[in-house]
Chains A and B, each alone.
Chain A
Amino acid sequence: MVCHVTVTESGSSRILPSREWAPAATHGEVADPAMQAATLTIGFGAQPVLSSIELPLACQSITALVGPSGSGKTTFLRSLNRMNDKVRHFRLSGRVELYGHDIYGRGVDPLVVRKRVGMVFQRPNPFPMSIRDNVLAGVKVHKVAPRSSYHDLAETHLAEVGLWSAVADRLSDSPYRLSGGQQQLLCLARALAVSPDVLLLDEPTSSLDPVSTEAVEALLVRMKERVSMVIVTHNLAQARRIADRTAFFYEGRLVETGPTEALFESPKRNETARYLNGQFG
């Protein structure tokens, strides 16, 4: 079957044949996932966005979510730390588990979920306070460390992301004078400072230059032993460089998932192959 596919920004294209998708068969190999989506269906009002997602997110590794715009990757990512809760008409069924506990279960505090599942955004969003206070913002609010350790903590976390030497002598300065790449590293330091179990990254390098992108990627690979990561990216080469596993989303469905190399080398689905080969997207 030959389809000429042009997927619009909104992802509203219906050119691919619509049919019942069987849940992808390749996820059984993840042992003890950090997080796991089970029969996850999400919509805003009457509009369905994600249908029956089954996706385990492996521990101590990086999982990349790829797919054309509007395929539901970001919605999925934001459902992993309940950032969609306040969106109007948000509805969800199924489960999202963090180490086996449903984060949408009764009595679960979304704030606790977000503390354990951190997030870094597409554009760097430092707080309007000094560089030092930015790193410590979460630490201070959650009182996870004594006040006397603040200075050392700031240094540790800035050094961790490779920013210490660049900002050591201007910790009290505004973060807005840093370059975009440095700002994003600062946001990573801020997110890592509260020691989350999982870190969600929503196209963290899409607004950065190649050198900064490389720095962020190196950091992610370095940190994955300590914190499991899920990254949404439009940059397939990036997924290939840093992700241990990759999941392909299309039109609100999880088409296929598996170890990155396997997915790129021998995708099982036609759509996956066509997307990864750059035939649409």
Chain B
Amino acid sequence: MAAEAPGLARAKARKPARVLRAFVASAAVIPLVALVAMVAVLLVEALPAISYSGFGFFTSGVWDIGSLYSNAVRTGGVLHLVGAQYGALWLIVGTLESSALALVIGFPIAYGAAVTIAERLPRRLAAVLSLCLEVLAGIPSVVFGLWGVLVLGPILARDVYPTLAKLPDVPVLDVFRGEVGSGEGLLTAGIVLGIMIIPIIAATTRDLLRQVPTAAKEGAEALGMTKRETFKTVQARWIRSGVFGAAVLGLGRALGETIAVALVTGSEIQNPTNIYDTMTTIAATIVSQLDSALTDPTHLAVKSLAEVALVLLLITLIVNVAARLLVRRSARDVALPVGAGL
């Protein structure tokens, strides 16, 4: 028998507390709702394009909204312009290539910068460099794009690429052979993207390094290890999975970057013939093709852009999930105190 216990009964929540609880709960749900809604809308929007293009969407590289001067026709229930053909192959390839280049170029610089800032430089100089990183992170991407197409691209095409193109014709280095072009293209996009992802990777890595406990480092020093050996033994391993997560963050940014890429790639839907050639990415195509797609009275062009947007979402998702799985596996080998949750 539960007797009435005066003063021990759970107090009824006061009104402000209830309001706050409701607000917090709904705030927690919003990200989930937003994600589901976005996928659902994109999927619904893209359905006609999916049924029209079929698997050819991934195997064809031709992106043609068809003839605007003919009457629309219906194929398999989908209204489209005569000659309309949507193949996203080169967009997907371009997205992956430019992002991979960005990571190859940006990651070593970012890691080196982070190690220098966190481990080598005197405190004041490190603070100044850290500030530079924050500022770099805050530069709008359109500024990066403009700078890339107006300044960096021409300089690279004039002074750097011709030298690169003369590198010996041996494996690895032979990727640099070919017609140099105007400075708008894959390599320039990779470099600009690489610079853009430096701040996020470097800042994350720097913060991870600062979290490595002094006790662990002293353990290595007390064994008579040099600074470099200590770093290899303790810090580098301690932050490994976290750094991997930082790289994925950077990759995610590169995959989705839009305007800067649209400006420096030459925006040509094609498979680049060499590393300097013009190309484009999914995000850049969406922004550069939307205007003309809206002129398609059948709306199939817009729906195809929705489909390719869905593909981009999927790629980003796959990259993130794969990264998490990899990190979890390496964390199982040696349970690292950092980075388990990315």
Contacts and interface: CB of A to CB of B under 8 A. Distances in A.
A119 B335 CA distance: 24
Which of B220, B221, B222 counts the most A-chain CB atoms under 10 A from its CB?
B222
A134 B223 CA distance: 11
A123 B215 contact: yes
B107 to A, nearest CB: 21
B222 A137 contact: no
A130 B213 CA distance: 18
A116 B262 CA distance: 61
Contact of A137 (B213, B233, B240, B333): B233
Interface in B284-342: 333-337
Contacts of B337: 128, 176
B225 A141 contact: yes
Given A118-B223, A125-B213, A177-B335, A141 B233 contact: yes
A5 interface: no
A115 interface: yes
A190 B334 contact: no
Contact of B222 (A126, A128, A141, A191): A191
Which of B224, B234, B336 counts the most A-chain CB atoms under 10 A from its CB?
B224
Interface residues of B, number: 23
A220 B106 CA distance: 50
Interface in A241-270: none
Contact of A138 (B215, B223, B336): B223
B218 A83 contact: yes
Given A121-B218, A129-B334, A141-B233, A112 B223 contact: no
Given A125-B213, A129-B334, A83 B234 contact: no
Interface residues of A, number: 30
B224 A142 contact: yes
Interface string B156-184: 00000000000000000000000000000
Contact of B333 (A81, A112, A174, A190): A174
A128 B234 contact: yes
A184 to B, nearest CB: 12
B218 A125 contact: yes
A83 B224 CA distance: 10
A111 B226 contact: yes
A125 B224 contact: no
Given A127-B216, A128-B336, A176-B335, A141 B223 contact: yes
B215 A128 contact: no
Contact of A125 (B215, B225, B226, B334): B215
A186 B263 CA distance: 57
Given A121-B215, A174-B334, A127 B234 contact: yes
Interface of B: 213, 215-216, 218-226, 229, 233-234, 237-238, 240, 333-337
Interface of A: 81, 83, 111-116, 118-119, 121, 123, 125-130, 137-138, 141-142, 172, 174, 176-177, 187, 190-191, 194
Given A127-B216, A128-B234, 9 more contacts: A118-B223, A125-B216, A128-B337, A129-B334, A130-B333, A174-B333, A174-B334, A176-B337, A187-B219
26 contacts: A83-B221, A113-B224, A114-B222, A118-B223, A119-B222, A121-B222, A127-B216, A127-B219, A127-B220, A127-B237, A128-B238, A128-B240, A128-B334, A128-B337, A129-B237, A130-B334, A137-B233, A138-B224, A141-B223, A141-B233, A142-B224, A176-B337, A177-B335, A190-B219, A191-B222, A194-B224
